[in-house]
A and B are shown apart, each in its own frame.
Chain A
Amino acid sequence: MVIISREEVEHVAWLARLELTEEEKEAYTHQLNAILDFMQQLNELDTTNVEPMAHVLPLVNVLREDEVKPGLPHEEALAGAPDQDRGQFRVPKIV
């Protein structure tokens, strides 16, 4: 059963900035359909009175107080930057 088309796989790959070969597109289309097909079995369950689950942990309201903590030293923060200039991350021009 085809749930996700090859075009959709290409679109999602583009959104995720993934460059896929023709073989990979073929393979992922097949695999994703197999996963989605499996997931469809869940649709057979009657969930009328089941509350939607927003998180796997049975926790709510995990909060912190509004306190300032020191962050990373400036040099360390920029240490992983491929390129930098005057204390800032330097990237190809974006408009």
Chain B
Amino acid sequence: MAEYEAVIGLEVHVELKTASKAFCGCSTAFGAAPNTHICPVCLGLPGVLPVINRKMVDYALKVALALNCRIAPHCKFDRKNYYYPDLPKNYQISQYDLPLATDGYLEVEVDGRRRRIGIIRVHMEEDAGKLIHEGEALNPGAYSLVDLNRTGVPLLEIVSAPDIHSPEEAYAYLTSLKAILQYLDVSDCKMEEGSLRCDANISVRPRGSEVLGTKTELKNMNSFRALQRALAYEIERQSEILARGGRIKQETRAWDESRGVTVSLRGKEEAHDYRYFPEPDLVPLAIGEDWINRIREELPELPAERRRRFQEQYGLPPYDAAVLTASKSMADYFEACLGHYREAKTVSNWLMGDFSRLLNAHGLEPEQAPVRPQDLAELLTLIDEGTISGKIAKTVFEEMFLTGKKARTVVEEKGLVQISDEAAVLAVVEEVLAAHPGPAADYRAGKEKALGFLVGQVMKATRGKANPALVNKLLKERLE
């Protein structure tokens, strides 16, 4: 497969978290009872007029600037016409030939190599409603139910250039893009709630070739990992067809997560013929320097800047800085910890290790963790004071995470205070040496490894509470 190179472009749709919809005052809140956030404007009833939500444009400008785009001085909205039950007006208000912004880029890092991925365009549009398909198993005369709450929620479409050459790069692009959107605080970016969605265009070509192959469009990827897998599958599928002299068919394919394959949507999708024309109900936007400068001044510190600052200000290795700043809430958590504890690298290790593991296991974001930054700081202080060992601290931390109790409380309740009393540890050392004469003799005979076994036995006998440095020291002294 190495002789083929993939050419991938990604199309990301992201819902902007304005309070009201793009062109009417209906709420955008997720999870309301069906068809309770709708009005004559988003339902497309006769005689209504849409009006542009200023915040949608502000948010879109933030994204466009963060993606280094050129902002169009004049842009307009267009109608994209098609028939589908989730689109009550029979057209979607979108932007066609004069989008808000063009020609940007995003920097991604894969395997330590930084690359720029071009952004072709960023434009504003409105979301469609939701369809629920009912009665499929039992009833051949099945029907679909339509909830139009989502209809008219502001949406941003971000189209990358075909600059992506591997599933890993696609994953990195999405991760970076999501981080920027979260730093800008313009979207929830929840794939499970549909506030971030991604389609991919992919073709392969013989490595070294400049000619583009025939592409397929991939849909229905419900996570970044699914997208990565779908791309990997599609690269293999297309490469195999080309390798045996076949031709790729230009088509839309859906990712089937359970089977791990892409399947053709042939026949289910109509030919695209949207007959775009300018939306006569909305006057154009003229975005001048003043507006752009105001938005530019509102831009927060973005992931790339924060990563650099973490390296410079806290002396973190590039890897740590990149991992921590990939998520705004993790970076915020990190800095909050440093308000209570000085050692940046120690905090970083805990956050990238046990903290991330437990967050993932419980499906939580850092700000939802039962352990607050000051609680983690207290735990780390207990280690520094010698009250508990680093090993015991892991147990304590897990208990804190599960119960929400503070470090000191867990240590006291569970009797986990480290035994640093020399006489007490020595007594256990003597017992262990008496019980295991073999390993003791081995160590004396020069087998360094035997010491590890003996340390382990002492730790076991004290249920991990003995001060490890002290155990090492005393064992060595007794074995001299």
- Whether, in the assembled complex, B144 has its beta carbon less than 8 Å from a beta carbon of chain A, the answer is yes
Q: Contact at A95–B273, with CB atoms within 8 Å? A: no
Q: Contact at B20–A93, with CB atoms within 8 Å? A: no
Residues of chain B contacted by A55 (CB below 8 angstroms):
76, 278, 280, 283-284
CA distance A15 to B82 in the complex (A): 8
- Whether, in the assembled complex, A91 has its beta carbon less than 8 Å from a beta carbon of chain B, the answer is yes
Nearest-CB residue, chain A, relative to B131: A94
Q: Contact at A72–B283, with CB atoms within 8 Å? A: no
Can you sample 13 A-B contacts with CB below 8 Å? A55-B283, A56-B280, A57-B283, A63-B57, A66-B19, A67-B19, A67-B20, A71-B25, A71-B27, A71-B37, A77-B43, A93-B143, A95-B133
Q: Contact at A86–B145, with CB atoms within 8 Å? A: yes
Question: When A and B form their complex, what is the total count of cross-chain residue pairs whose Cβ atoms lie within 8 Å?
Answer: 129
- Whether, in the assembled complex, B98 has its beta carbon less than 8 Å from a beta carbon of chain A, the answer is yes
Encoded as 1 (CB less than 8 Å from any B CB) or 0, chain A from 58 to 79 comes to 0111111111111110100110
- Whether, in the assembled complex, B54 has its beta carbon less than 8 Å from a beta carbon of chain A, the answer is yes
B residues 20-50 with Cβ under 8 Å of A? 20, 24-27, 33-40, 42-43
Say yes or no: A77-B278 contact (C-beta < 8 A), given A88-B146, A93-B143: no
Q: Contact at B38–A77, with CB atoms within 8 Å? A: yes
Say yes or no: A54-B145 contact (C-beta < 8 A), given A61-B286, A68-B20, A69-B20: no
- Whether, in the assembled complex, A19 has its beta carbon less than 8 Å from a beta carbon of chain B, the answer is no
Q: Contact at A60–B35, with CB atoms within 8 Å? A: no
Interface residues on B, range: 35 or more
Nearest-CB residue, chain B, relative to A91: B85
Say yes or no: A94-B54 contact (C-beta < 8 A), given A55-B76, A66-B20, A72-B38: no
Q: Contact at B34–A91, with CB atoms within 8 Å? A: no
- B residues adjacent to A (C-beta < 8 A): 18-20, 24-27, 33-40, 42-43, 51-57, 74, 76, 81, 83-85, 98, 131-134, 141-148, 268, 273, 275, 278, 280, 282-286
Interface residues on A, range: 35 or more
Q: How far is the CB of A52 from chain B (nearest CB, A)?
A: 9
Say yes or no: A54-B25 contact (C-beta < 8 A), given A62-B52, A88-B145: no
Q: Contact at B142–A72, with CB atoms within 8 Å? A: no
Q: How far is the CB of A54 from chain B (nearest CB, A)?
A: 4
Residues of chain A contacted by B24 (CB below 8 angstroms):
69, 71
Residues of chain A contacted by B20 (CB below 8 angstroms):
66-69
Q: Contact at B144–A64, with CB atoms within 8 Å? A: no
Q: How far is the CB of A21 from chain B (nearest CB, A)?
A: 21
CA distance A91 to B146 in the complex (A): 7
CA distance A63 to B55 in the complex (A): 9
Nearest-CB residue, chain A, relative to B275: A15
Residue from the list A17, A61, A72, A93 in contact with B40, Cβ < 8 A: A72
- Whether, in the assembled complex, A89 has its beta carbon less than 8 Å from a beta carbon of chain B, the answer is yes
Residue from the list B38, B54, B278, B283 in contact with A64, Cβ < 8 A: B54
Q: How far is the CB of B371 from chain A (nearest CB, A)?
A: 35
Residues of chain B contacted by A85 (CB below 8 angstroms):
134, 143, 145
Residues of chain A contacted by B145 (CB below 8 angstroms):
85-86, 88-91
Q: How far is the CB of B160 from chain A (nearest CB, A)?
A: 27
Say yes or no: A67-B25 contact (C-beta < 8 A), given A54-B74, A91-B85, A93-B143: yes
Residues of chain B contacted by A72 (CB below 8 angstroms):
38-40, 43
Q: Contact at A74–B55, with CB atoms within 8 Å? A: no
Q: Contact at B146–A89, with CB atoms within 8 Å? A: yes
Q: Contact at A91–B143, with CB atoms within 8 Å? A: yes
CA distance A33 to B85 in the complex (A): 33
Nearest-CB residue, chain B, relative to A60: B286
Residue in A55, A56, A85, A93 with the greatest tally of chain B CB atoms within 10 Å: A93
Residues of chain B contacted by A66 (CB below 8 angstroms):
18-20, 53-56
Known: A17-B83, A88-B132. 12 other contacts (CB 8 A): A62-B51, A62-B282, A62-B283, A63-B53, A66-B54, A70-B25, A71-B38, A74-B33, A78-B35, A85-B134, A90-B143, A91-B143
Residues of chain B contacted by A11 (CB below 8 angstroms):
273
Q: How far is the CB of A53 from chain B (nearest CB, A)?
A: 9
Q: Contact at A64–B52, with CB atoms within 8 Å? A: yes
Q: Contact at A94–B133, with CB atoms within 8 Å? A: yes
Say yes or no: A88-B284 contact (C-beta < 8 A), given A68-B25, A68-B27: no
Q: How far is the CB of A65 from chain B (nearest CB, A)?
A: 6
CA distance A20 to B18 in the complex (A): 44
Residue from the list B56, B85, B131, B283 in contact with A60, Cβ < 8 A: B283
